[in-house]
Chains A and B, each alone.
Chain A
Amino acid sequence: MAGRTSTPPQRESPAAGFLRAVSAVAWKDLAAEFRSRELFTAMLVFSLLVILIFNFALELDIRTREAVTAGVLWVTFAFAGTLGLNRSMSIEKDQASLDGLLLAPVDRSAIYFGKVLSNLTFMLIVEAIVLPVYSFLYNVNLLQPGLLLILLLGSIGYIVVGTLLAAMAVQSRTRDVMLPILLFPVVIPVLIAAVKASGGFLTGDDPVSIVPWLNLLIVYDVIFTSIAFMVFDYVVEE
């Protein structure tokens, strides 16, 4: 056996220790998902089915398509995201691995940010696949830098709140039902701002009219990231 090494290296700064824990949790989630592909497959298949159904349900002219695209996209991502968030936390709860994480001598918000990082990665990968498919089906150009920025900001806001509430909902016996009930009322500002800003870009609105929605997204992301940082410890506490 090696010598006694019970505490983290003493020269490591708190920030470095925090980042190490964040990256460890994110790496673990990504590596496990890379093997099982349970979460990612569910999110992707669901998203593709939704846009396919909308494609047949809404036989629209080109102008109307551009107007409804933002709504269809965000409905798709919001519901697919719920699947991913639920699965991401239930994996920890079902195998009681959450206790293993909580036993680590790290700031518990590091666990939260690790989870946010992995959930956001899954969501962005799904978006990266869905966007070209949607562009092809609806004949709408979605690969615009402004729109991609809104997708990023909206996804961050959604995942930041969703991860926190998934950690809360997973304690409940009715967690699968509980998460959407808790989540959607809280993310309404994100979804409205994201739909309005995305729609503005797609229909070629004046950029000045889009800026307030962008600001709302940024403010929401900052506020809820701060709140989650402060309360995650209490959420996972028995």
Chain B
Amino acid sequence: MPSLPRLSASEASMIEVTKLVKRFGTKTVLGGLDLEVRTGEFVALLGPNGAGKTTFLRILASLSHPSLGEVRVAGHRLPQQAAAVRARLGVVSHMPLLYGDLTAEENLRFYGRLYGIPRLAERIDDVLGLIGLDARRRDLVRTFSRGMQQRLAIGRAVLHDPDVMLFDEPHTGLDQDASAMLDTVLKSVAARGRTVVMTSHDLVRAEALASRFDVLSRGVIVASTTRRQLRGSNLLTFYKHSLAD
């Protein structure tokens, strides 16, 4: 595994969100959310439908602007320094963001060129090996199963070796085998020292993968715990208590 570069003091917190508000017209989706994610943490963001998880991730990904509040990712402010943030960010959603009429290799080559990745051919070989799709590199993505597409989506997201990974319900629509395979890839991604924020409805998988669990309800974080604090209890109990309070 490559050694990570030394981070400055400000980067010890990879994500800093202060009093974040997001409104769509008169509807307030995020109502003053505060969150800090330290470098190397794997945070599972849990919450019911409509809690604001996807909206929050889209703001972190610079795909949506905050209405109020301050957001910093990797030391860069959003939305003012969005391009700098995007260079250090990898995003995987339940949609693979791939092109069905291109092969797996062509998809990665396209994104690699877009990101200006040096020694791209070598990098594509590495990533295809990481996600276990080397043998299918010349197959059209539209012939892939949902699970394979999601693995390639992770390959696309890690291609530029980002410091921060955002996963928006990556297990949606996957069967058990594909989910297990995806978990292996997710663990491998996290083991490389990246900071990960993942939204999920699947508490069992979240518990197996993440090191910290934050519960989002009605646009604010209502509870937070770590794997260490959970010892002797389980995530489902914590989650239910958090939403009941």
A103-B86, A105-B87 are known contacts. Are A9 and B116 too (CB-CB below 8 A)? yes
**Interface residue range, chain A:** 35 or more
Within 8 Å CB of A131, what residues of B?
A: none
Asked if A237 lies at the interface with its beta carbon under 8 angstroms from chain B, I say: yes
Question: By the criterion CB–CB under 8 Å, are B160 and A6 in contact?
Answer: yes
- Interface-forming stretch among B38-46, B89-97, B203-211, B215-223? B89-97
The CA of A72 and the CA of B5, in the complex, are separated in Å by 63
- Chain A residues with CB under 8 Å of B58's CB are 238
Nearest CB in chain B: distance from A9 CB, A: 5
Q: Is A8 an interface residue (CB 8 A)?
A: yes
Assembly CA distance A154 to B99 (angstroms):
31
Across the interface, which residues of B come within 8 angstroms of A33, CB to CB? 101
Give Cα A25–Cα B61 distance, bound, in whole angstroms: 20
Interface bits A135-169 vs B (CB < 8 Å: 1, else 0): 00000000000000000000000000000000000
Given A2-B122, A97-B98: A103 touches B117 (CB 8 Å cut-off): no
From the candidates A24, A101, A104, A105, name the one contacting B84 in the complex (CB within 8 A).
A105
Task: State the main secondary structure of chain B at its contact with A.
Answer: loop
**A1-20 interface with B by 8 A CB criterion:** 1-9, 12, 17, 20
Task: Determine the distance from Cα of A21 to Cα of B116 in the docked complex, in whole angstroms.
Answer: 8
**Which among B99, B115, B122, B192 is the interface contact of A95 at CB below 8 angstroms?**
B99
Task: Give, as a whole number of angstroms, the nearest-CB distance from A233 to chain B.
Answer: 10
A208 on the interface (CB 8 Å rule)? Answer: no
Chain A neighbourhood of B62, CB < 8 A: 103
Does A100 count as interface, using CB distance less than 8 angstroms?
yes
Of all chain A residues, the one with the shortest Cβ separation from B79 is: A237
Q: Could you give 16 example pairs across A and B, Cβ below 8 Å?
A: A2-B2, A2-B161, A5-B123, A20-B114, A20-B116, A23-B113, A24-B113, A96-B93, A97-B99, A99-B93, A99-B95, A103-B62, A104-B114, A105-B84, A105-B87, A238-B64
Q: List 4 additional A-B contacts (Cβ < 8 Å) besides A2-B119, A100-B98.
A: A31-B106, A99-B95, A100-B97, A238-B58
A residues near B, CB below 8 A?
1-9, 12, 17, 20-21, 23-25, 27-28, 31-33, 35-36, 91, 95-97, 99-107, 237-238
Task: Please provide the 7 A-B residue pairs with the shortest distance between their CB atoms, ordered closest to farther.
Answer: A8-B116, A100-B97, A105-B87, A96-B95, A24-B113, A32-B101, A105-B86
